[in-house]
Structure 1
Amino acid sequence: MASSREREAANSLQDTYNRLKQIARTLWRGEHDPQLRGFYAELHAYFTIIYHHLKRISSSHVTIDKHLLNRLLDCIESIFTRNLLRLSSDDRLRRLDDVRDEIQSLADNGAKVEALQPYLDFGATEIQRDDFLESLSTLEKELETRYPEDMSQWAPEDFGPLIKINEPSYAVWNAAQSMFKALVACKDCVCTPTHDFGARLCLGTHRKPDCEPDDQVDFDMFLSLKEDWHEAHIHTEKDRAVRIAVGQARQRQRAPRSMVVKQLCEPIARVSTMAGYRLQLKVTKDQLFKLQSERSGSLVDKTKHPVSLDQFLRDRPRNFTERTKRILAVILSSTVFHLHNTPWLEPSWSSSNVLFFQTSSSAVTLRPFIQTKLSLLNFSPPPDGREHSPDTTDSEDLDPDDLDPDDFDPDDMDPDDWLMHRCPILVTLAMMLLEIYFATPFDVLARRCNVDLGDSQSSTKHLDVSVVFQACRTEIPENSQFYVAVGSCLDPQVWETENGGSLSSDELRSRIYEKVVLPLETELSQAYSSISIYDLDKFAETLDFASWDQTIQTLNQQTKVEASRQNTGLGLGLERSCSLSPSLTTPYHPPGSAQHLRRLSDLDPRATISASSTPNLVRFPSASDAEGLCDSTASLSLESYPQWKYTVGILCALPKELLAVRALFDTKHSKPKNLHGDVNNYALGTISGHMVVAACLPAGEYGTNAAADSASNMRRSFPSITFCLLVGIGGGAPTSQNDIRLGDVVVSLPTARFPGVIQYDRGKEIENSSFELTGALQPPPRQLMTAISSLRSNPDLPSNPLQPFLNDVVNRVPDSWKPKYMHPGQEHDRLFSLVCSACQTGHCTNMNNHLQRRPLRPTNHPEIHYGLIASANRVLKDAAVRDRWAQDHGILCFEMEAAGVMNTFPCLVIRGICDYADSYKSKEWQEYAAATAAAYAKLLLTEVAVCDDMRGVFWEQGRTLAEFRPLEQPISSEQRV
């Protein structure tokens, strides 16, 4: 039995690792140097895992070996400076809290490191940092080995009927065969030296929604003459044509011009001289044709080496999240279903052949490719039911079905040469699935299970993989779909007829899907219901494998602007700004520079470099401006419009809120001039076809009074504004009825008693110490209420409607701010119980035991809540008051500005939740919450109709434009609500 002193020491050590985990995460999210970012990422991973080990062991009332505790303490004390070592354990925790809060408030990582130097030293050299990581790794493995997790605490996985998912088409197999045959047929040439043709084919599920025809199949690939890779896209039509287009999906054209390709090297060499272009090819009746080349919009940086799955397993095992594992399992099993018995997928394939490409920002898209040498291969149709072996005419391994008893003496046949499994490719798949599940290379996994591996021959591989599976099967839930899929891959009887013969091709494909692919698809769907199997390929390419499947933006995900622009006179400008938007991988060049002019020309060769023809917006921000999008990021000439053209106002309290809003502008306009008596600074542009004016409160001024002044100035300077959106952050009020989490969005919605917003600091005390609200606020305009009803009743609205806009925010804010606008992680979403006052002040040494236990959500996508928002002239930092107002009035959110604007002009309040309105204040969620609020504002504006004639706009109060005098003075403070 552990003494109280030992328990205190263990709890203190656990809390210390938790603080270090938070500090490492802050450094990782803000670091741009790839080497240091990788170090901080691993540091955060090890601190996180050790912390959870300690927490799990503590909750199980098991006493950790005193010697191991001392080693855990010695390890982290090796990075403590004398300033921390001389403090007691409690004082040390408080100092780490202060340091964590300080660095979280800093934007520059250099400043963060400087603030840490008096207390923490992670090592000045790479060798020192690697040694520290190795120490953490050793301790983590020892904790896991000596104190294994009790698997019985987990609920058994649902092993009910499989989810109904339609079986994919077999058209992919035929298209892959035809494509390979056409490429190989024209690879021979007389060039000296000879070419080393290669192809990298994208792996995927090739799923399509029911509304799309099954006779069309698309592939993506890279082709090369000799390590000079050129992106490829393949379009096929069943029984008619196979089309190959380097880059993205082709544009529909009438009778495209084509030319027969006799030598494959010629079109590849031609397109290599056309920077930024993609090669288009078409296959018709096994003949290759060249079409007109098109521009490429890929984010892949071909100058960077791809990263293999084996490299991730050996060097970055912590990058395998549960979601990543399930997605990769579905994609790889679908690959076997589609490409078995084709030259693209050899039986000897492995995790070393599966490649992932990097972007210019070092992100790695979760989009696997497999590399194949075309130069050494010749096409020969595979025999029915057998796997294709492109390198040899005779298989190394002998199938008993292929042996004629008259041709050999059974006594001369070595039993080791007989295949124990008719589909070696499925044995390899089982091996790779185990690698992914355990995030461990197979040879390392075998050593861990004390299994000596044989050579790589098919006859021994099956036995080796089966033995390893048997050795580690206790670590896999026996009733899981994953367990079933791996077991089916390794069971040789599954892949034989009842008489022990070979399956036909159709039978084999059907069985691969039924026994392997469908169980893995089911497991993914059960764990992540928001991920559609039919959209999995597109979804996977938005995930960054190098950053724990954080979302990255791809060009084909950019949000489409509503098609009502011509009525505002901006139709051509908006269309051109979309077509001219630069790739996110393009370096920034100042407007007016020669590089900038060339960049505009490269983006669209039809564009003339003149002030009149350039677009209204450039999508990337200047990293030098941390408070907002720098005006210098605009194109050569910003369009200017009269003030009466603007019909939507957006008001923010903080620069970080306005930054998120401006990042979602579709076009940007020049600032207004000669605004007499108006101290506001405005950002003008368009969002979803609406003419928008956005402003922020003066620095240091908050609350209803400051908001009323800014709103009045905006209304006077832009008299056509029909409504205003108050977009920013607020404090959430979670209850048992409303599961509000940090990052969620709350939208003001009227009830029977209140108009969507109540001013909770305006009222009177009545008997029984209760409080009665007084005064009245205007409700939101009906135009917005009908738009909200349309959104909420739209059956086609995706489960994550805000995510595309959140991706836009992250990709368009300054580089130093990008990490701040990403989801901080659900582990940092803390709601404390009211029983501990120390938790509310942030100085409780046992805070983790006072957290309210809430189940994690399956995804990080924010949810949208509609209801009452409470507004006042002060910040609420009292959880008891929060809960009372939530209970008595149904309040969902607390904020500070809305009550000052509601009676100035019609408005709707949109708040991203950054805290829980208690005394435990943290700024970690503010930027992300600001982004979610801005994302909802843009989503809502896509549902609001654009006014046809701005001059005919009337206020809801019935006042025309003529009633607003240019020099109208702001309303007095007595008139404000």
Structure 2
Amino acid sequence: MAPILASGRGCDLVDLVLATSKSILQIAKVLSGRQTEREVKKLLRHFIVHCMLVFDQVQRIRTILVPENDLLSRALGLFESLIALDATSKHPYGRQQGLNKRWDAIRTQKADAKFAFASRCLILDQTPKLHALDESFNVWEEDVMAKYPEDGLDWSLDDYGPPKERRPEPSYAVHSAARSMFKALTRSTSCECCTKHDARLCLRTYRTLEMYQDDDNETNDFEMLLSSHHDWQETHVHTVRKRVVRFMVDNETQQSPPAKNHLDYKPMPVKRLCDQLKKMQQMASKRLEFKVENGRLLKLRSEKSKFRIDKRKPPMSLQQFIRESPRSLTEKTKRILAVLLSYTVLHLHDTPWLQPSWNSSNIFFFQTLSSNIPLRPFIQTQLTVQDLDDQDEHKPQSNAGRDAFLERDPDDLDPDDLDPDDPDPDDIFTDPDDIEHPFPTLVTLAVVLMELYLAAPFNILAKNRDLYFPEDVDSRTRSLDVASVFNEYKREIPQNSQFHYALEKCLDPRTWEDDNGRKLDDQALSVKIYEEVVRPLEDELCDAFDFIRIEELDTTAENLDFRSWGQAIYHNEEDTSSRGTPVSLREGIFSSPRRGLAKMNDSVSSYLSSPDLGSGHHMVTSSEYMAAKFYDDEKASDSHSRLEMEDYIQWRLKHQAVLRKFVDPFLKQPPENPIKIALLDSGVDDTHSSLDTGQIKLKRNWTTSKKKDVADRDGHGTFTASVLIDYAPDSELFIAKIADGVPSPPEVVAQAIRTAVDEWKVDIISMSFGYPTNQIEGYDELESAILYAYSKGVLLFAAASNSGANLDRAYPARDPHVICVHSTDSNGNRSKFSPTPLAQEINLATIGEAIESAWPVKLCDAETNSQFVQWKSGTSFATPILVGIAAFLLQYARIHLPDKAHMLKRQEKMKSVLLKISDKTQQSIARDGYSYIALNLFADNLFGKSKVFIDETIGELLKR
């Protein structure tokens, strides 16, 4: 029986429990930082984890939580019992309503005000009741997993996913307009100046907000590149929209308004397309404007070019990206392209624009004069001269005779009774294995969707499963061959994903036939494609990236740089080819490594290229310097998928479960000798609630004379500090601001290291930054400081860099006295941006993808990001996580192995223990060349074994 979806009051209660879990989590963090009673502090940390789990689980099953659901009411009851404030209404959960409203108003205030309010929120003076609630939450979490196991939910996202925003259906007029445009263009190519004319049509959804709001919108506009001698010319074609019915989805119909003519001049008929293309060669900054009316191609007044391609650079096909640059296929670019290409089949099926043999090699992307490759695909087609008015003659004839024949009882069929006009039985009864898919273009769409999702060419996918197909595959077996490959990879494409659903529908011939087995006509086919392929992919895109609107997808996509993992393109004021809303300078700097960082490069280029560096030093260029991404991350916050985020949350919870088992029960008071960590970064945001835990002991700025001003104007330092607080909750933090907009010279970093060692007496130094070379002025001082810290028994960790195989490890991560940190995903697979592991070296790695952490309040929009957090990826963020694991090991040793704990501050000993954690069995080898470090209670993990075994193992490793 299908579950009843939450609605009305049920949705209100789900929203309430989600809001309360967020509020109590933040309040518990504030209280935990200043709590002196160890038992209460431990319980507060438990409630932080409980809130995270409640939020995660309720969000996961929210679609089946009706108001009467016992688990929902139990969670609300537990939260209500934990709150000490009086109810502000007669609502059954009035305390939660009041708490959420008041906390929302005060959480952005100063730390003292937040702490004063938070101290009154929870029943901290009732320790026995807190223990009871702690146990009740544990039971609740077990019951949720028992009733709704993560791998056992038997529902489809299509039926039971989160409520979808109702979107208007696209216009069916695009299909007929594209056919009309092709006819008009080909009728203008009858000339003797060349042998062929090529066109590259821009692939879009052709959806805009205006087309549903503006009754005067009378055309479907197409953007393309036209050529007769490979000299491509930007062209814009208007086609008059006829009064046609839009898709009749869910029994809704909409009619388009009648066409009107608003031109103030008379368009000129185009007789020879070559003449216009040749003329435009002298007008490089203009684009051709055409209009199709009554089957004729008319020229309009030329306009300013909107998409200036670099004609010196050849375009890159989608197949090339998949084959040569698979890292460009991030979750965001994959999903956007899937939607755009599904719209391509929707709008262009059975038109000359989309041949049955199309594939990813026909889809092109162009480099602009700004050196970007916008996520703006084009399909190339030859404008062949033919009489397209007769094209319908080539369509399959009526099946009436065949159907009449097949309706006869087989026992009554006698060759003598056959009518001469009946079809030949041998032509009717074909081999079942030779049944042809009614629409080969959909089979190709399935191929491209597989290539996108798996980031590999189709022939490689087939070869990897020992499937070999002849190059000239008969169309009758093509769909069966593709289905065979899909079946081999089904396990790698989640069954409840819309990618999986769309692939199955594309390959199932019955989906594209009516009840009588006939292939669908054009309009019925369009409706079906939208229902079964396009809309599911739209939903999955919007679920993964809720900031993307389908009505704005065309503009959103073309403002993303495909070559730079879908990061935003920075448009400066002089960039005449910019489209859509310009990206701010800040977004440009930290989103686009090729454009935005140019501004930052200007401010450091004089230092980096200084002739005073001395003989023997390599002249470092700005581009080399920025390639190391001094303290930048790999992916923008909005480019992470919901699945990546959920995986990280589960990873973090497993880590925290280890702390709850091996540290919390043994620290009745704050540790007398806490682990001290120095964080060298861009400062911190003092006002952020996540950092108000009392762990930050000292702060100092090395970038200006204002030593106490450590305000984080970048976000990186706040992010890494919050990660350290998550993973080393009993540690003390010392903040060293060594970067502010531009990185500091190495000698400044050296000063911070020496202060951390001599004055702050830290145990660990965390450095989420790097230089691409050590051949720069002042690096010898940094090298000396690192050696000094090493000699004093201070552990140093540094980010490996985010340049993939383009550069080796950055400095100081390459220094032998520093532990270099690489990045993986939540399953220990190498991050694409992580440098290549070194032979004969220990290559340590931990999770560095889709990390959730705090972001400066002033850099967030409170309306859209009320929690002031971001999701980031990079070795910069794997570093504080591994530092947190090292801090846990030090704390564990000080509690359980006090006589040997000092040995763990030796780098080789710490590496030995970390390597032991990475080994699952005695036969384990490095994964992708890395030793993957993760803490959890699984039996294969060191900390999933008995305490006696753990102590003996670590003790043995720490022997002199």
Same fold at TM > 0.5: no
TM-score (norm 2): 0.44
Larger relative helix fraction:
2
TM-score, structure 1 as length reference: 0.43
